[in-house]
Amino acid sequence: LKDRTSRVLGFAEQPISLFENQATILFATPDKSTGLRWRTHIKPLVPFALLQKPLCETLSAMAKIATPDAFVIALDASAPEEGLRLLAEIRARATTRHCGVLVVLENDRSDTLIDALDLGANDVMAHGFDPEEMAVRLSSIVKHKRFRDGLRRNVQEGLEAAVTDPLTGLFNRRYALPHLKRIAEFSSRTKRDFAVMVADLDHFKAINDRYGHVAGDRVLEVLSGRLRDTLRPVDLLARIGGEEFLIVLPATDRATARNMADRLCRVINREPVHIQKSDIQIPVTVSIGVAMASDHSSTGEISGTALLDHADRALYGAKSTGRNQVTL
Ligand code: GH3
Ligand code: MG
Ligand code: MG
Ligand code: MG
Protein backbone atom coordinates (compact mmCIF):
# COMPACT_ATOMS: atom_id res chain seq x y z
CA LEU A 1 0.00 0.00 0.00
CA LYS A 2 1.66 3.20 -1.18
CA ASP A 3 0.71 6.82 -0.99
CA ARG A 4 0.94 9.33 -3.84
CA THR A 5 4.65 9.84 -3.47
CA SER A 6 5.13 6.08 -3.55
CA ARG A 7 5.98 5.97 0.09
CA VAL A 8 5.13 2.54 1.43
CA LEU A 9 2.46 2.70 4.07
CA GLY A 10 1.99 -0.94 4.74
CA PHE A 11 2.20 -4.47 3.52
CA ALA A 12 -0.24 -7.32 3.29
CA GLU A 13 0.87 -10.78 4.21
CA GLN A 14 -1.01 -12.20 1.28
CA PRO A 15 -2.56 -10.53 -1.71
CA ILE A 16 -5.61 -8.64 -0.51
CA SER A 17 -8.46 -10.18 -2.37
CA LEU A 18 -11.44 -8.08 -1.55
CA PHE A 19 -15.08 -8.89 -1.71
CA GLU A 20 -14.75 -12.63 -1.64
CA ASN A 21 -15.99 -12.97 1.89
CA GLN A 22 -19.03 -11.62 3.60
CA ALA A 23 -16.92 -9.13 5.48
CA THR A 24 -13.20 -8.85 5.53
CA ILE A 25 -11.30 -6.89 8.12
CA LEU A 26 -7.83 -5.52 8.11
CA PHE A 27 -6.26 -4.41 11.32
CA ALA A 28 -3.61 -1.82 11.33
CA THR A 29 -1.93 0.21 14.00
CA PRO A 30 0.26 3.11 13.13
CA ASP A 31 3.87 2.53 14.03
CA LYS A 32 4.88 5.49 16.18
CA SER A 33 8.53 5.40 15.15
CA THR A 34 7.88 5.66 11.43
CA GLY A 35 4.78 7.79 11.46
CA LEU A 36 2.57 6.58 8.70
CA ARG A 37 3.82 3.06 8.50
CA TRP A 38 1.48 0.43 9.77
CA ARG A 39 1.93 -2.54 11.95
CA THR A 40 -0.49 -5.12 13.10
CA HIS A 41 -1.08 -6.44 16.57
CA ILE A 42 -1.58 -9.94 15.33
CA LYS A 43 1.77 -10.59 13.76
CA PRO A 44 4.28 -7.96 14.75
CA LEU A 45 6.55 -8.78 11.81
CA VAL A 46 3.85 -8.36 9.22
CA PRO A 47 2.46 -4.85 8.98
CA PHE A 48 -0.95 -5.98 7.76
CA ALA A 49 -2.77 -9.14 8.60
CA LEU A 50 -5.81 -10.29 6.85
CA LEU A 51 -8.63 -11.85 8.78
CA GLN A 52 -11.13 -13.87 6.87
CA LYS A 53 -13.21 -15.49 9.53
CA PRO A 54 -16.82 -15.57 10.56
CA LEU A 55 -17.96 -12.32 12.09
CA CYS A 56 -18.30 -13.47 15.70
CA GLU A 57 -14.82 -14.98 15.73
CA THR A 58 -13.44 -11.84 14.18
CA LEU A 59 -15.10 -9.65 16.76
CA SER A 60 -13.77 -11.59 19.71
CA ALA A 61 -10.31 -11.55 18.15
CA MET A 62 -10.69 -7.82 17.73
CA ALA A 63 -11.66 -7.26 21.33
CA LYS A 64 -8.44 -8.98 22.36
CA ILE A 65 -6.01 -7.14 20.16
CA ALA A 66 -7.60 -3.78 19.58
CA THR A 67 -6.01 -0.91 21.41
CA PRO A 68 -7.61 2.51 21.45
CA ASP A 69 -5.22 3.69 18.77
CA ALA A 70 -5.79 0.75 16.46
CA PHE A 71 -7.29 1.26 13.08
CA VAL A 72 -9.77 -1.01 11.47
CA ILE A 73 -10.66 -1.15 7.87
CA ALA A 74 -13.97 -2.85 7.45
CA LEU A 75 -14.39 -4.07 3.97
CA ASP A 76 -17.94 -4.44 2.95
CA ALA A 77 -18.61 -7.26 0.58
CA SER A 78 -21.48 -8.81 -1.25
CA ALA A 79 -23.59 -8.48 1.89
CA PRO A 80 -23.41 -4.91 3.16
CA GLU A 81 -25.56 -5.68 6.23
CA GLU A 82 -22.69 -7.76 7.57
CA GLY A 83 -20.26 -4.91 7.20
CA LEU A 84 -22.66 -2.45 8.78
CA ARG A 85 -23.35 -4.79 11.68
CA LEU A 86 -19.63 -5.09 12.23
CA LEU A 87 -19.27 -1.33 12.19
CA ALA A 88 -22.07 -0.93 14.74
CA GLU A 89 -20.32 -3.47 16.99
CA ILE A 90 -17.01 -1.70 16.68
CA ARG A 91 -18.62 1.55 17.80
CA ALA A 92 -20.54 -0.14 20.62
CA ARG A 93 -17.58 -1.85 22.28
CA ALA A 94 -15.44 0.04 24.74
CA THR A 95 -12.24 -1.55 23.43
CA THR A 96 -12.82 -0.58 19.82
CA ARG A 97 -15.02 2.49 20.12
CA HIS A 98 -12.27 4.92 19.18
CA CYS A 99 -10.77 2.96 16.31
CA GLY A 100 -10.45 4.70 13.00
CA VAL A 101 -12.75 2.96 10.53
CA LEU A 102 -12.60 3.14 6.78
CA VAL A 103 -15.39 1.31 5.00
CA VAL A 104 -14.79 0.14 1.48
CA LEU A 105 -17.87 -0.48 -0.64
CA GLU A 106 -17.89 -2.71 -3.63
CA ASN A 107 -19.47 -0.28 -6.02
CA ASP A 108 -21.63 2.80 -6.04
CA ARG A 109 -24.08 2.11 -3.22
CA SER A 110 -25.24 5.41 -1.87
CA ASP A 111 -27.70 3.81 0.57
CA THR A 112 -24.93 1.79 2.22
CA LEU A 113 -22.63 4.78 2.13
CA ILE A 114 -25.09 6.88 4.13
CA ASP A 115 -25.71 4.06 6.60
CA ALA A 116 -21.99 3.57 7.09
CA LEU A 117 -21.38 7.24 7.86
CA ASP A 118 -24.42 7.25 10.11
CA LEU A 119 -23.04 4.28 12.07
CA GLY A 120 -19.77 6.08 12.68
CA ALA A 121 -17.44 5.26 9.80
CA ASN A 122 -14.72 7.88 9.66
CA ASP A 123 -14.67 7.65 5.91
CA VAL A 124 -16.11 5.58 3.10
CA MET A 125 -14.70 4.52 -0.23
CA ALA A 126 -17.72 4.25 -2.45
CA HIS A 127 -16.14 2.90 -5.60
CA GLY A 128 -14.33 -0.21 -4.51
CA PHE A 129 -10.75 -0.75 -3.55
CA ASP A 130 -8.11 1.54 -4.99
CA PRO A 131 -4.76 1.46 -3.20
CA GLU A 132 -3.88 5.06 -3.87
CA GLU A 133 -7.26 6.33 -2.76
CA MET A 134 -7.09 4.16 0.33
CA ALA A 135 -3.66 5.49 1.22
CA VAL A 136 -4.84 9.08 0.99
CA ARG A 137 -7.99 8.45 2.98
CA LEU A 138 -6.11 6.50 5.63
CA SER A 139 -3.58 9.28 6.06
CA SER A 140 -6.39 11.70 6.65
CA ILE A 141 -8.11 9.37 9.15
CA VAL A 142 -4.82 8.98 11.00
CA LYS A 143 -4.32 12.73 11.20
CA HIS A 144 -7.81 13.40 12.49
CA LYS A 145 -7.71 10.48 14.86
CA ARG A 146 -4.47 11.68 16.45
CA PHE A 147 -6.04 15.07 16.99
CA ARG A 148 -9.18 13.57 18.55
CA ASP A 149 -7.13 11.21 20.75
CA GLY A 150 -5.16 14.18 22.03
CA LEU A 151 -8.34 16.06 22.90
CA ARG A 152 -9.81 13.02 24.61
CA ARG A 153 -6.64 12.49 26.66
CA ASN A 154 -6.63 16.10 27.77
CA VAL A 155 -10.25 15.92 28.85
CA GLN A 156 -9.65 12.66 30.72
CA GLU A 157 -6.56 13.97 32.43
CA GLY A 158 -8.39 17.15 33.39
CA LEU A 159 -11.30 15.22 34.87
CA GLU A 160 -8.94 12.93 36.76
CA ALA A 161 -6.87 15.77 38.12
CA ALA A 162 -9.98 17.51 39.38
CA VAL A 163 -10.86 14.63 41.70
CA THR A 164 -7.37 13.48 42.70
CA ASP A 165 -5.10 14.62 45.50
CA PRO A 166 -1.73 15.16 43.82
CA LEU A 167 0.42 14.18 46.81
CA THR A 168 -1.15 10.82 47.65
CA GLY A 169 -3.05 9.97 44.47
CA LEU A 170 -6.15 9.39 46.59
CA PHE A 171 -9.52 10.93 45.80
CA ASN A 172 -9.95 14.42 47.12
CA ARG A 173 -12.83 16.06 48.96
CA ARG A 174 -14.46 17.19 45.75
CA TYR A 175 -14.90 13.57 44.71
CA ALA A 176 -15.49 12.09 48.14
CA LEU A 177 -18.49 14.05 49.35
CA PRO A 178 -20.77 13.42 46.35
CA HIS A 179 -19.65 9.78 46.42
CA LEU A 180 -20.59 9.53 50.09
CA LYS A 181 -23.98 11.00 49.22
CA ARG A 182 -24.53 8.34 46.55
CA ILE A 183 -23.58 5.55 48.95
CA ALA A 184 -25.98 6.95 51.57
CA GLU A 185 -28.81 7.04 49.03
CA PHE A 186 -28.03 3.57 47.76
CA SER A 187 -27.93 2.21 51.31
CA SER A 188 -31.29 3.76 52.23
CA ARG A 189 -32.82 2.18 49.14
CA THR A 190 -31.31 -1.25 49.69
CA LYS A 191 -31.62 -1.09 53.50
CA ARG A 192 -28.00 -2.08 54.01
CA ASP A 193 -25.96 -0.62 56.83
CA PHE A 194 -22.71 1.17 56.00
CA ALA A 195 -19.87 2.80 57.89
CA VAL A 196 -18.26 6.22 57.66
CA MET A 197 -14.85 6.75 59.23
CA VAL A 198 -12.63 9.74 59.71
CA ALA A 199 -8.99 8.87 60.31
CA ASP A 200 -6.69 11.65 61.55
CA LEU A 201 -2.96 11.23 62.12
CA ASP A 202 -1.89 11.88 65.69
CA HIS A 203 0.34 14.84 66.53
CA PHE A 204 1.20 15.35 62.90
CA LYS A 205 2.16 18.94 63.49
CA ALA A 206 4.92 17.68 65.79
CA ILE A 207 6.19 15.40 62.99
CA ASN A 208 6.44 18.37 60.64
CA ASP A 209 8.11 20.45 63.31
CA ARG A 210 10.63 17.80 64.12
CA TYR A 211 11.47 16.28 60.71
CA GLY A 212 10.39 18.98 58.29
CA HIS A 213 7.58 19.32 55.76
CA VAL A 214 9.21 17.15 53.10
CA ALA A 215 9.44 14.22 55.49
CA GLY A 216 5.87 14.98 56.58
CA ASP A 217 4.72 14.76 52.96
CA ARG A 218 6.49 11.44 52.54
CA VAL A 219 4.76 10.11 55.67
CA LEU A 220 1.39 11.09 54.18
CA GLU A 221 2.26 9.27 50.94
CA VAL A 222 3.40 6.08 52.64
CA LEU A 223 0.48 5.92 55.06
CA SER A 224 -2.02 6.56 52.27
CA GLY A 225 -0.61 3.50 50.53
CA ARG A 226 -0.97 1.40 53.68
CA LEU A 227 -4.60 2.44 54.08
CA ARG A 228 -5.38 1.75 50.40
CA ASP A 229 -3.75 -1.69 50.57
CA THR A 230 -5.78 -2.65 53.63
CA LEU A 231 -9.18 -1.53 52.37
CA ARG A 232 -11.32 -3.47 49.92
CA PRO A 233 -11.65 -2.23 46.34
CA VAL A 234 -15.27 -1.14 46.95
CA ASP A 235 -14.33 1.02 49.93
CA LEU A 236 -13.86 4.72 49.43
CA LEU A 237 -10.64 6.28 50.65
CA ALA A 238 -10.12 10.01 50.24
CA ARG A 239 -7.86 12.66 51.65
CA ILE A 240 -10.30 15.28 52.86
CA GLY A 241 -7.93 17.41 54.92
CA GLY A 242 -4.22 17.86 55.51
CA GLU A 243 -3.71 14.70 57.55
CA GLU A 244 -7.30 13.57 57.57
CA PHE A 245 -8.87 10.75 55.59
CA LEU A 246 -12.46 9.82 54.87
CA ILE A 247 -13.20 6.12 54.60
CA VAL A 248 -16.59 4.76 53.57
CA LEU A 249 -17.39 1.07 53.78
CA PRO A 250 -20.56 0.33 51.81
CA ALA A 251 -22.77 -2.62 52.77
CA THR A 252 -20.90 -3.24 56.00
CA ASP A 253 -22.12 -4.22 59.48
CA ARG A 254 -20.83 -2.94 62.78
CA ALA A 255 -18.55 -5.88 63.58
CA THR A 256 -16.88 -5.70 60.16
CA ALA A 257 -16.46 -1.94 60.43
CA ARG A 258 -14.90 -2.21 63.88
CA ASN A 259 -12.60 -4.92 62.64
CA MET A 260 -11.49 -2.85 59.64
CA ALA A 261 -10.91 0.27 61.75
CA ASP A 262 -8.76 -1.70 64.19
CA ARG A 263 -6.75 -3.12 61.28
CA LEU A 264 -6.21 0.34 59.83
CA CYS A 265 -4.92 1.56 63.20
CA ARG A 266 -2.50 -1.35 63.30
CA VAL A 267 -1.15 -0.97 59.76
CA ILE A 268 -0.39 2.67 60.50
CA ASN A 269 1.58 2.08 63.69
CA ARG A 270 2.89 -1.43 62.92
CA GLU A 271 6.17 -0.02 61.68
CA PRO A 272 7.61 3.49 61.48
CA VAL A 273 7.86 5.27 58.14
CA HIS A 274 11.37 5.07 56.78
CA ILE A 275 12.64 8.26 55.14
CA GLN A 276 15.31 7.03 52.77
CA LYS A 277 17.01 10.32 52.08
CA SER A 278 17.88 11.05 55.69
CA ASP A 279 17.62 7.43 56.85
CA ILE A 280 15.29 8.21 59.72
CA GLN A 281 12.38 6.21 61.08
CA ILE A 282 9.22 8.13 61.96
CA PRO A 283 6.70 6.35 64.19
CA VAL A 284 3.11 7.38 63.47
CA THR A 285 -0.26 6.58 64.99
CA VAL A 286 -3.78 7.39 63.88
CA SER A 287 -7.11 7.99 65.60
CA ILE A 288 -10.30 6.85 63.89
CA GLY A 289 -13.88 7.90 64.53
CA VAL A 290 -16.56 5.59 63.13
CA ALA A 291 -20.27 6.21 62.56
CA MET A 292 -22.69 3.47 61.50
CA ALA A 293 -25.64 4.56 59.37
CA SER A 294 -28.00 2.32 61.39
CA ASP A 295 -27.18 4.20 64.61
CA HIS A 296 -28.37 7.48 63.16
CA SER A 297 -31.25 6.62 60.87
CA SER A 298 -34.31 5.73 62.92
CA THR A 299 -36.42 6.96 59.99
CA GLY A 300 -34.44 4.81 57.53
CA GLU A 301 -32.73 7.80 55.93
CA ILE A 302 -29.50 9.51 56.76
CA SER A 303 -27.51 12.08 54.85
CA GLY A 304 -23.86 11.47 54.14
CA THR A 305 -22.81 14.77 55.65
CA ALA A 306 -24.73 14.07 58.87
CA LEU A 307 -22.88 10.77 59.19
CA LEU A 308 -19.58 12.46 58.50
CA ASP A 309 -20.41 14.81 61.33
CA HIS A 310 -21.05 11.88 63.67
CA ALA A 311 -17.77 10.26 62.63
CA ASP A 312 -16.01 13.56 63.35
CA ARG A 313 -17.47 13.65 66.84
CA ALA A 314 -16.38 10.05 67.42
CA LEU A 315 -12.90 11.05 66.25
CA TYR A 316 -12.85 13.84 68.79
CA GLY A 317 -13.62 11.22 71.45
CA ALA A 318 -10.73 9.04 70.26
CA LYS A 319 -8.38 12.03 70.36
CA SER A 320 -9.41 13.24 73.80
CA THR A 321 -9.13 9.81 75.41
CA GLY A 322 -5.59 9.03 74.37
CA ARG A 323 -5.29 8.78 70.53
CA ASN A 324 -4.05 5.70 68.57
CA GLN A 325 -7.48 4.13 68.90
CA VAL A 326 -10.90 3.64 67.33
CA THR A 327 -14.15 5.10 68.63
CA LEU A 328 -17.39 3.62 67.38
P1 GH3 B 1 -3.96 15.75 66.53
O2 GH3 B 1 -3.41 14.50 67.08
O3 GH3 B 1 -4.84 16.45 67.51
O4 GH3 B 1 -4.66 15.53 65.23
O5 GH3 B 1 -2.73 16.71 66.27
P6 GH3 B 1 -2.17 17.19 64.89
O7 GH3 B 1 -0.89 17.87 65.14
O8 GH3 B 1 -2.13 16.06 63.96
O9 GH3 B 1 -3.29 18.17 64.40
P10 GH3 B 1 -3.23 19.65 63.92
O11 GH3 B 1 -4.57 19.89 63.28
O12 GH3 B 1 -2.86 20.55 65.04
O13 GH3 B 1 -2.09 19.73 62.86
C14 GH3 B 1 -2.20 19.14 61.61
C15 GH3 B 1 -0.91 19.39 60.90
O16 GH3 B 1 -0.85 18.74 59.65
C17 GH3 B 1 -0.69 20.85 60.63
C18 GH3 B 1 -0.04 20.90 59.27
O19 GH3 B 1 1.24 21.45 59.34
C20 GH3 B 1 0.07 19.46 58.88
N21 GH3 B 1 -0.26 19.28 57.47
C22 GH3 B 1 -1.42 19.50 56.85
N23 GH3 B 1 -1.32 19.24 55.54
C24 GH3 B 1 -0.06 18.85 55.31
C25 GH3 B 1 0.67 18.45 54.14
O26 GH3 B 1 0.15 18.39 53.04
N27 GH3 B 1 1.98 18.14 54.29
C28 GH3 B 1 2.60 18.20 55.51
N29 GH3 B 1 3.88 17.87 55.57
N30 GH3 B 1 1.95 18.56 56.61
C31 GH3 B 1 0.64 18.89 56.53
MG1 MG C 1 -6.22 18.28 64.33
MG1 MG D 1 -3.96 15.16 63.38
MG1 MG E 1 -6.55 17.02 61.41
Q: What is the pLDDT of residues 18-52, one digit of tens each?
A: 333 333 445 444 444 443 333 333 222 222 333 33
> Does the annotation count 81 as an active-site position?
no
- Provide the terminal-to-terminal Cα distance of the chain, rounded to the nearest Å: 70
The answer to which of 125-129, 215-219, 263-267 has the lowest mean pLDDT is: 125-129
pLDDT of 71-122, one tens digit each?
A: 555 555 445 676 777 778 778 777 678 878 888 776 667 788 898 899 999 9
Beta bridge partners of 257: none
Report the pLDDT value the prediction gives residue 28, as an integer from 0 to 100: 47
Atom of ligand 1 nearest to the CA of 219: 29
Identify the active-site residue in 82, 89, 106, 243. 243
pLDDT of 141-169, one tens digit each?
A: 777 877 888 898 899 899 999 999 999 99
67 contacts 10 by C-beta, under 8 angstroms? no
pTM of the predicted model as reported, rounded to 2 decimal places = 0.70
pLDDT over 70 for what percent of the chain? 72
Residues 284-298: what's their mean pLDDT? 93
pLDDT over 90 for what percent of the chain? 50
Report the pLDDT value the prediction gives residue 278, as an integer from 0 to 100: 92
Report the pLDDT value the prediction gives residue 72, as an integer from 0 to 100: 58
227 vs 41: which has the higher pLDDT? 227
pLDDT of 239-255, one tens digit each?
A: 999 999 999 999 999 99
Report the pLDDT value the prediction gives residue 168, as an integer from 0 to 100: 97
Report the pLDDT value the prediction gives residue 67, as an integer from 0 to 100: 52
What's the gap in Å between 44 CA and the centre of ligand 2?
Answer: 57
Beta bridge partners of 292: 195
Report the pLDDT value the prediction gives residue 95, as an integer from 0 to 100: 67
Question: Is the pLDDT reported for residue 289 higher than 60?
Answer: yes
Nearest in space to 119 (alpha carbons), one of 145, 82, 70:
82
Question: Is the pLDDT reported for residue 311 higher than 60?
Answer: yes
What's the gap in Å between 214 CA and the centre of ligand 2?
Answer: 19
Mutate which of 167, 172, 208, 323 for ligand 1 pocket (most atoms within 8 A of beta carbon): 208
What's the gap in Å between 275 CA and the centre of ligand 2?
Answer: 23
Per the prediction, the chain carries an average pLDDT of 79
Question: Is the pLDDT reported for residue 14 higher than 60?
Answer: no
Highest average pLDDT, of 74-78, 130-134, 281-285, 303-307, comes from 281-285
